[in-house]
Every structure is written in C-alpha cells, then in structure tokens.
Structure 1
Amino acid sequence: MTNVLVTGGAGFVGSHIVDELVASGYDVTVVDNLTEQVHDDEPDYLNDEAEYVWGDVRDRELMTELLEEADVLNHQASAVGVGQSMYEIEKYVEVNTLATARILDIIVNEDISLEKIVVASSMSIYGEGAYHCPEEDTLHYPSLRGSETMAEGQWEHVCPDCGTELEPIATSEKKPRESTSVYAISKKDQEELTLSVARSYDIPAVALRYFNIYGSRQALGNPYTGVCAIFSSRIKNDNPPLIFEDGEQTRDFIHISDIARANRLAMERDEAEDVALNLGTGNPKTITEIAETLIDLYGKSDELEPEIANDFRQGDIRHCYADTSRAAELLDFKPSVTFEEGMRELVEWGREQDAQDNFEEAHAELEDKGLVGDN
C-alpha cells in the first residue's frame, strides 16, 4: 500500500486531504506541530485511520525518519496570513521557505526515494490578476496600486495607454508572477524549490496554486486566515464584517472538498508532472457578496450588514480569479461544489463551533505597523 506523508495534515486543508486519501485506500502518516494560532488542542476531526506524529517540519531528524518510510510527499505545512507575514518576516521565511528547503535537502542527501511530491502553492504569487482593456483590446498585467491612488478612492486599474478602466479576466498559469507580500514570496519559494529540485533528481512533482479555499474546519478564531472564516467569527459574535476598499474587489472561492480531491488526482495522474496548476472555480465573487451571503445564512440579515471601511491594506490586490483549463486538462479536474452549496456547508459547521472574534486586535496590529491606509 502506498504510504503518503502529509505535512500539516491536522490543519484545515491537510485534514481534508488526509480524509480523501484514507477513503481512497492510502496509508497516511501526518506530521503537524499543532501551532497555537490555529489549534487550541488536538482537533476532534482527526481521521482514526491515519497515523499522527506531533512534531515540526523544521526538525531534520524527525523528517528524515518520516521521509524514509514515505512513498509520496504531500507538503501542506505552511504559515498562513498575508498581513501578518509583513511584520513576522523571519517566522514566515523560516516555516515556509527554510523548512521546505530542509525537506528537499533531506530527500537529496539522505537518498530518499519518492514516487511523487505534491506541494501547496498559492494564487498570492501572481500579485494582481490578468486584465483586458475593452477600448484598446489589449492584455495587461498591472502592478500593485499606489497608496496615493487608493487614498483618493481610485480602486480599479486603468489602461496605461488610454485611461479606460480595465476589466479583470481569468488568470492563467502563464501570467508573470509578482509576489506582493512575504507570505506570497515564501509560497513562491516553496513551489520553485520543489519543482526545481524534483526536476533535477527526476522526481515527479506538481505544485497546486490554491485560490481562496473555504469550508468546514477553518480556524474561526484565527484572524489571519481566509475571509470566510474571519467574517464568520464576526457574524457569530454579532459584529459586522469589516470590508476594505469599496467591497467590489473579487476573489475566486473554491470549496475544501474540491481541493482535497484535486490533491489526490495530482498524486495519481502521470500527466501532472513538473508543472504548476491553478485550483479555483473560475467564478469570481465580490467580498461584499461573501459577507452578505454569510450574514443571510447565519440568519442575521435583520441585525447586521457589512461595514464598508473605504480604507485599504498595503499590498492588497483588486481582482484575481483562476483560469482552470490546465487543471481540467491534466488532472481531469472540475470543481463539483457550487458556491451556494459550499457556503451552506461552512455555515452548518460554523454554527456548532466556538468562535472568538479576534479581528479588532489583528486589525490594530496592521494599523500599528503602518499597513492600513485611509481613504
């Protein structure tokens, strides 16, 4: 039986991957350090049929022992949080970049034989998404918006040639990468280190560029996690979701069960080797839509409405959603969970969870570090 080592396998994404692999007949070993920001204790959703090792992926001796027993490495362990990464720089580089480098160093120098490596990457490595000028019929990959522009409430990108407002289009894997945060840079490091080393040593490998993942098991008390979890904790505590800019910025939200299935397919399909693939739906949603949907599903439409801040966070992008054609071709993967179904699943699970609202504290940290601008 194939033994799959899943790093970070007790977390939100990793635990769903573990369930998917166990259900498909794989022998699964998990290594996770149960980081305090995400876990208060061992979560109650852990799969009884997987083996769990509580330890750190930065521990060379431990990782050597685990890799010697593995046939496949599924590397999900990562420090997550764009804003936090901008002032906890050393931590993010150590946990993401250095730990990945150490794992690869072990594989190379301890003569570890692996059938495949699957590594979690991120849409954040793109920076802004792709855009089209309707007037000039030209493709554009704009850089970050300037603070002065956003302070004036100019949220959208405009064509540098004619000044027409640009239209966001699906972002393909061919788009030049312009990582705009320490987190994004560290995720790009994880992807590029893995693919480069695997290519050199003839190890099949694939990087999966996750877009915005949501679903059950998100850490609702972690104010640095995804927007669906942050909004859920606000709503459950009868606080309005705070939305930066004007709320019309868009992201691509994909349900966790589809991410788990795509990881299994990436492991199994020979077509997916030495390649990076987008994992999204191709259907962008505005941040305001997310907030309003969650308020409605939690039954609080008469009490709450989103609070549009009209201020902005340094480094935030305006629009980015996935061109999913490459994953469809190489993995035969198409998302199966609709936005409506996925949001209902998240809220049904969220109703049963304790959710401390730590958003104000996290927001204050960003302001203190000069990472929030006023409009």
Structure 2
Amino acid sequence: MPNLILITGGAGFIGQRLARSLLKQGCSVRLLDNFSPQIHSTEALPVDLDGHVNLIKADVRDRDTMRRALTGVDTVVHLAAETGTGQSMYEIDRYFSVNVQGTATMLDLLHNEDCAKSIRSVVVASSRAVYGEGAYLCDTDGMVFPDQRGRTLMSQGQFEPLCPVCGSAVKLLPTPESAPFRPMSMYGLTKQVQEQAVLLFAQTRGINGFGLRYQNVYGPGQSLKNPYTGILAVFSNLARQNQPIEIYEDGLESRDFVYIDDVVEATVRSINYPGQFVGALNVGSGEAVSVMTVAQEIKAFFNSESVIGVTGAFRMGDIRHNIADVTQIEQVLGFVPKMPFTQGLANFLGWAAEQAPEDKAAYLRSVNELAARGLMGSAAAT
C-alpha cells in the first residue's frame, strides 16, 4: 500500500471521492487543485476532508508548487484537466496549456529532480474521447472505426456513422483498448497526449503506469453549475425548474455512464496494484443508454412539467455513441462495474433534489459560444 498519494485536481468530483476512499485505507493523501470557478462554487474542502488531507491550492503549471507537491510522494493520481468537449474546440490554447503542459511539467519534475525519488506509480485520468466514434461492425468489412461525422450529412438528419471503407451502415460494438486513437475534439486530443506521455514516462522509468479511460462519470457530488460536465447535470437543473429540455440530434445518441463509486474502485485498484503494469484500461459500465432515455427518466423522477423536444441541432466534435469493452480491466484488476444505470441515476437525482437548482444562463451561454464559432449545426426536427 502506498504511503503518500498526490491527487492533482483532487478537490474535484472524482478527487474528493477518491481521497475519502484512500483515507479509509489509512493512506496519507495530498491534494493539489486550483479551484477553477467554472467547476467549484467554493475554495474550501468539505468538513470531512478539511484537516485530514494536505491541501495545496495551485495550478498544475506552477513548477515551483508542483515540485513541493511531489516531494515525498510514491503515487500520483493525475486528474487535473480542463474537461469541456465543446469548449475545447475554441479555447484551444487553454486546453493544451492545462492538459498537456501541466502534465509535461509534472513529468519533467518527476524525471529530472529529486522531489519524488520514491515514485512507484502514476495513474492518469484518460478519457474515452481518445477513441472518437470508437468501434462498429460493418457486415462487409468487419470491425471498423468510423470517421468524424460530417456537417452535410448531419444537416440532412443522417446522424449515424458510416463504414469508413464502404460507406455502409454499421452497428455499435464495445470499444476495446486496442482501438486506434481517433479523437474528434481538442479535449480528446489533449487526453491522448496526457495518457501517452504518462505511459511513456512509466515505461522508461520502470514503474507502474495506468491510463484509465473513464467513460461518462456521474453520481452524487458532481458539479451542477458547470455547463460542460454533461447532460445529467444540465437536464436535472432544467427539469426541477420545469424548463424545456432540448435534445440534440434525434435523441437516440447514447453514452456509457459509469457511476462514481465504480470509478473510485477501479482507480484504487490501480493504485494498490501489486504487480507490474503499464497500459490503458477502459473504466465504464459496458452499457449504452440513449440521451432520450436519460431525459425521460429525469423528467419522471422529478414529476416535472418540462417538455422534452428533439431539436435536430448538433455539435461538431460530438460522437454518436459509445460503449466500453470492460474485459481487459477485469483481467488486469479484477474490476467489474457494480452500479446499474437506473439505480445510479436515482442516487444522483435524489442528491440533486437536495441542491439549489442552477440558473440555465450558463448552459445557454455555452451553447451560444459554440454557435458563434460555427461549431453548431441543425437538421430538420424529427
């Protein structure tokens, strides 16, 4: 068991839950976080963490502070990152600066200075975004990995990916870790670089390196104010205020939603892994849920008067579907996701009901920013 663990981005959704789990195991935990206003509504830790962890308020790009944060650490869990897929398509410099340069600064210190001589493992939060559309089955060409969907076809209401070889219709498959890198957003590209830099460092250094490709993480405690964190937060805010819920494309697009407790368990298993491993692992539920299903479940939970509308609008850089192949993480870590989506969603919504609803202005502003930069399109409503 590691003695001192540094969690970058440790005051965030995943970081706090991970810290609690590690403290229960008797680990010493250090958190580094800049408390970005886009994500955090306060610069204070919850009372159950305050005083029980060593908190450093700083940016991952601050070399001197990172040196101090890494001192004496034997395991790093690198969660710090900018996370908005759509936002990354126009705030390109910021995403590369935080995600890529921040990771480079950390690895440079680990490799060239004496601040962390005892480092034995680095775990990085990668993303399913590195795959782009991921894996599909073509009746003619077998497993294929479709190109980014084009504006012309989506404007005609043709949202499903096509075979990149023959142009035929394809069926969704679970995406394995062996799938090629095909990121379709700047966010996805920065996560690819983050992951590969950490794994290359670990391989060169002869230590453990885990690139955990988190799918769509959700659960109690996630930010309800950040319009870039995902549809569960956005839809729950709208439903509680009886506001219209507008769904992009045709509502049949789907995601692999993985519950926070499962994500924490997979991450802890990586930290405590007794063997030698350098590589990437999918962390998901292995189940695809449509956006329409999500909207309907949320509306029903709150007995909301919200009208669910399918707009035909789309965002460039969005994927159509995703479902993770979770075979390899079971083989390596013995991890099997436990939380079914229906129960996990109920847990999240029960918690959300106790929080003050957020004004939809931030969400509308995020949509308007995309539209102003030519990253939105629209097909006829279905």
Shorter-chain TM-score category?
Answer: over 0.9
* C-alpha RMSD of the superposition: 1.5
Structure 1 match to 2:368: 364
Structure 1 match to 2:95: 92
Cα distance in 1 for residues equivalent to 2:122 and 2:85: 25
Structure 1, unaligned stretches of length 5 or more? Answer: none
Q: Does 1:181 align with 2:181?
A: no
> 1:271 touches 1:330 (CA, 8 Å); kept in 2?
no
Going from structure 1 to structure 2, the CA distance change for 1:128 and 1:45 (only over 3 Å counts) comes to farther
Amino acid in structure 2 at the alignment position of 1:123: R
Q: Does 1:223 align with 2:224?
A: no
Q: Does 1:331 align with 2:338?
A: no
Q: Does 1:115 align with 2:117?
A: no
Match of 1:349 among 348, 351, 355: 351
Task: Give CA-to-partner distance per residue, 1:239-268, whole Å, 9 cap, x none.
Answer: 122211001011100001110111100111
Structure 1 match to 2:53: 50
SS in 2 for 1:100: helix
Cα distance in 1 for residues equivalent to 2:172 and 2:284: 15
Cα distance in 2 for residues equivalent to 1:122 and 1:129: 12
Q: TM-score, normalised by structure 1?
A: 0.96
Q: Does 1:22 align with 2:27?
A: no
Task: Give CA-to-partner distance per residue, 1:92-138, whole Å, 9 cap, x none.
Answer: 111110000000000011132202111100000100021112x4362
Going from structure 1 to structure 2, the CA distance change for 1:366 and 1:69 (only over 3 Å counts) comes to same
Q: Where do 1:253-332 residues align within 5 Å?
A: 253-271=257-275, 273-300=277-304, 303-332=305-334
Going from structure 1 to structure 2, the CA distance change for 1:286 and 1:118 (only over 3 Å counts) comes to same
Q: Where do 1:16-165 residues align within 5 Å?
A: 16-41=17-42, 42-44=44-46, 47-48=49-50, 49-111=52-114, 112-113=116-117, 114-133=119-138, 135-136=139-140, 138-159=142-163, 164-165=168-169
Going from structure 1 to structure 2, the CA distance change for 1:360 and 1:45 (only over 3 Å counts) comes to farther
Cα distance in 1 for residues equivalent to 2:276 and 2:248: 37
Cα distance in 2 for residues equivalent to 1:314 and 1:130: 19
Going from structure 1 to structure 2, the CA distance change for 1:160 and 1:95 (only over 3 Å counts) comes to closer
Cα distance in 2 for residues equivalent to 1:149 and 1:43: 47
SS in 2 for 1:10: coil
> 1:15 touches 1:46 (CA, 8 Å); kept in 2?
no
SS in 2 for 1:129: coil
Amino acid in structure 2 at the alignment position of 1:149: L
Amino acid in structure 2 at the alignment position of 1:306: I
SS in 1 for 2:11: coil
Segment of structure 1 superposing worse, 267-276 or 137-146: 267-276
Segment of structure 1 superposing worse, 270-279 or 119-128: 270-279
Structure 2, unaligned stretches of length 5 or more? Answer: none
Q: Alignment length, in residue pairs? A: 372
Going from structure 1 to structure 2, the CA distance change for 1:208 and 1:240 (only over 3 Å counts) comes to same
Structure 2 match to 1:11: 12
Q: Does 1:191 align with 2:191?
A: no
Deviation at 1:162, TM superposition (A): 5.9
> 2:145 touches 2:164 (CA, 8 Å); kept in 1?
no
Cα distance in 2 for residues equivalent to 1:94 and 1:173: 26
> 1:271 touches 1:331 (CA, 8 Å); kept in 2?
no
Cα distance in 1 for residues equivalent to 2:339 and 2:212: 18
Segment of structure 1 superposing worse, 57-66 or 227-236: 227-236
Q: TM-score, normalised by structure 2?
A: 0.94
> 1:4 touches 1:70 (CA, 8 Å); kept in 2?
yes
> 2:253 touches 2:320 (CA, 8 Å); kept in 1?
yes
Going from structure 1 to structure 2, the CA distance change for 1:33 and 1:160 (only over 3 Å counts) comes to closer
Identity of aligned residues (%): 36
SS in 2 for 1:38: coil
Going from structure 1 to structure 2, the CA distance change for 1:340 and 1:310 (only over 3 Å counts) comes to same
Task: Give CA-to-partner distance per residue, 1:172-230, whole Å, 9 cap, x none.
Answer: 00111111111111111110111111211112111100000000111111111122112
Amino acid in structure 1 at the alignment position of 2:31: V
